[in-house]
Amino acid sequence: MHPIESKKLWEQLSELINADEPEQINAFLNSINPADTALAVSRLNSAEQSRLLTLLRPEEAAEVIEDISDTQAADLIEELPPEQAAAILEELDSDHIADLLGELDQDDANAIIEQMDPEEAEEARQFLTYAADTAGGLMLSEYLDFRGDQRVQDVLDDLQENREDYAYYDVQYLYVTDDENRLRGVLRMRDLLFPKRTEKLSNLMISSPHKVSVDASLEDLRNFFEEHALFGVPVVNDDEKLLGIVLPEAVEEANQKQSTQQFLGLSGIIGGEEFRSMPLLARSGRRLSWLSLNIVLNIIAASVIALYQDTLSAAIALAVFLPMVSDMSGCSGNQAVAVSMRELSLGLVRPTELLRVLGKEASVGVINGLALGVLLGAVAYLWKGSPFLGLVVGGALAVNTIVAVSLGGAIPLLLKRAKLDPALVSSPLLTTVTDMCGFFFVLSFAALVLDKL
User: Within 267-326, which residues bind a copy of itself (CB under 8 A)?
Assistant: 267-269, 273-277, 280-281, 283-284, 287-288, 290-292, 294-295, 298-299, 301-303, 305-306, 309, 312-313, 316-317, 319-324, 326
Complex with a copy of itself: residue 202 or 231, whichever CB lies closer: 231
User: What is the pairing mode between strands 183-188 and 206-207?
Assistant: antiparallel
Which H/E stretch holds residue 245? strand 242-246
Whole-number Å distance between alpha carbons of 172 and 380: 68
Which positions from 100 through 139 interact with a copy of itself, judged by CB under 8 A?
A: none
Which positions from 337 through 366 interact with a copy of itself, judged by CB under 8 A?
A: 337-339, 341-343, 346-353, 356-357, 360, 363-364
Whole-number Å distance between alpha carbons of 211 and 208: 9
Complex with a copy of itself: residue 19 or 346, whichever CB lies closer: 346
Which positions from 209 through 248 interact with a copy of itself, judged by CB under 8 A?
A: 219, 222-223, 226-227, 229, 231, 248
Complex with a copy of itself: residue 25 or 376, whichever CB lies closer: 376
Q: How far is CA 3 from CA 7, 8, 9, 435, in A?
A: 6, 9, 10, 44
Least Cβ distance, residue 32 to a copy of itself (angstroms): 10
Q: In what order do the strands lie in the sheet with 212-213?
A: 212-213, 233-236, 242-246
**342-347 LR contacts (CB < 8 Å, sep 24+):** 344/412, 344/413, 344/416, 344/422, 347/219
Binding-site string for a copy of itself from residue 410 to residue 439, where x marks contact by CB under 8 A and - marks none: ---------------------x---x---x
Least Cβ distance, residue 188 to a copy of itself (angstroms): 9
CA 229 to chain centre: 24
Residue 120, number of CB atoms within 10 A of its CB: 16
Judged by CB under 8 A, does residue 172 bind a copy of itself?
yes
Complex with a copy of itself: residue 84 or 427, whichever CB lies closer: 427
Complex with a copy of itself: residue 86 or 152, whichever CB lies closer: 152
Which H/E stretch holds residue 207? strand 206-207
Judged by CB under 8 A, does residue 205 bind a copy of itself?
no
Complex with a copy of itself: residue 19 or 229, whichever CB lies closer: 229
3-state SS class at 400:
helix
